[in-house]
Structure 1
Amino acid sequence: MSKTIDLGQQITLTDVYDLGMEQRTGSYLFHERDLTIVETSASPSIPYLLKGLKSLSINPRDIKYIIVTHIHLDHAGGVGLLLEKCPNAKVVVHPKGKRHLANPSKLIAGARAVYGDQFDELFDPIVPVPEERLITKEDGATLQIGENRTLTFIDSPGHAKHHFSIYDPVSNGVFTGDTIGVYYPQTKTNGFEFVLPSTSPNQFDPDAMLNSLEKIKNLNVDQIFFGHYGRTENPQLIYEQIWYWLPKFVDAGKKVMEEKPDSSLDEKVGAVSNELLRSVTEFLAEKGIDQDDDVFKYINVDMQVCAMGIVDYLLK
């Protein structure tokens, strides 16, 4: 099973079935002189990514660059494993993420704290990346991958401090990882494009997220490529939805913290998650999307993790 979609302008998207879910996480490929992958997802996704390359008649030995927008395991957890199949590739990462790819012990500990007994099934193995195969890109730095294609890296914290977005002039598009949200292509069957902020622990910062959104908006792009999942050609709609939802998410957290000051951490997270789900469910019902819709399989997972990040942020 592998699904690869031609997005035009020498870009393809491969569904890598993160968490075993279709249209959950995507990996992008630039078909340029220097073949370049953006996002790998976690290690269990790597077989799907390799099958995608095979279906495109691409030998992994010919991959030149593997870019990860940030080092959360659902975006970069599989990069070390993929690198074993791509002996001529270098990994491009935010400067704040480099040491964690070279020595992933803290990443592993953090993910175990969030995912507990599910960790091995979701993320194992996490393979260190040799230091000599890591390249960092500061804000505004570039990478030429083809005669007429030079990517620009934009420091974009908010979801994480180790996050950059990637501007591509050929598509006039930007690869935003998680910094301006999770895109739910499942709702497009209802004629509605839907995105929610990704507020996962432990570096969520709403002010930084809004600043990053402003930076991205000022690029005047025609399309946005999301880590989760796919592409929109309606950037303004995305900005408006993040502006709408981000304060609602934080307010939901504040409400729970005020009402339940003595509750345990798990109880607070559960209450925030329920509050977020209630708001989103009501909103989507108005769009004709009920609770039995497939999109809620994804939203239910995300609201739990978003609630953890919001509670963590407010406790700090």
Structure 2
Amino acid sequence: MTRAVVVDDSHFMRTVITDILESGGIEVVGEATDGREAVSAVAECDPDVVTMDVEMPNMNGIEAVEEIMATTPTPILMLSAHTENGAEATFEALDKGAVDVLAKPGGEVSTGISAIKDDLVRKVESVERADLSTVGESSPEPQSPDVADETAFAENGTVVVGASTGGPSVVENVLSGLPLAADLRVLVVQHMPDSFTSRFAKRLDGRSDYDVREAEDGDRIGGGEALVAKGDYHMVVSNYSDGRLRVKLDQGPERHGVRPAIDVTMETAAETVSDALTGVVLTGMGTDGAAGIEAIKAAGGATLAQDEETSSVFGIPARAIETGCVDDVLPAGQVPRGILSTVREPT
């Protein structure tokens, strides 16, 4: 049975989170009201996973994550408020070694809690499986591969990148490794709460040579631009003409229990894009992306998957590889070069 420590300065929230986890078959072996207590509780209880609040007195969640990862490394799920400040703080915690994030309910807390019940249990189970040696390894500055002046790339190349647990830092590194010379259109589907994808897009924009933004309904992009799927919306590739992609946002049924789904974007890209198309699946739990990789391969596109050694959770890549439709399996650090090889014109 998975053993958890619950950290929150609200007695009510600790009680509710504990009840949800225990009803989902997860044993809560300790609680803490602030970061200092969290560090002690983790050392004493040796849990499999920690749920960590962000804003707390004495020592906040970011400081607690840093201390825990330095002394008693343990998979940590951040529970953060639906605010810009909450999102920024959570990404800082991910940089310090936290594995994943779930938005705390707003408005009527009792209603919101019931709505995230299944998500909370699923996220905790996913985070528990994380390989901590691969977490929190984002590059501080873009590091694009050297591209010779004479390098020729296919015209109008499109790349669809999908990731889940442990994905943000890997996605950052992938985008920072793509040079503008490749003139790609990049679509990113990262499983993430709806209040965090805008901030994630801003981080990618600051760490990449590409112009990155959160997708809006009807958005169009051309070469050198990237869209991040908006949380709670599928990103559908609805049109492709003269090297420009158009997307629409869709709140249709979840797939694999998630929205946005990697499969939706990859499948519609495979149906719509007539030029070079590359599908990439990165770290994460579940099966989302496998059908999308099959669709891209069937459409004549190239397909890549992150390897097990560098994946925080080797679920999504493994399921894609099992389809037999993945062209190459690469360590996270080699994915940018792998993408470029799929759109480089033969000499």
Identify whether the pair has TM-score above 0.5, normalized to the shorter chain: no
Structure with greater Cα Rg: 2
TM-score in terms of structure 2 length = 0.29
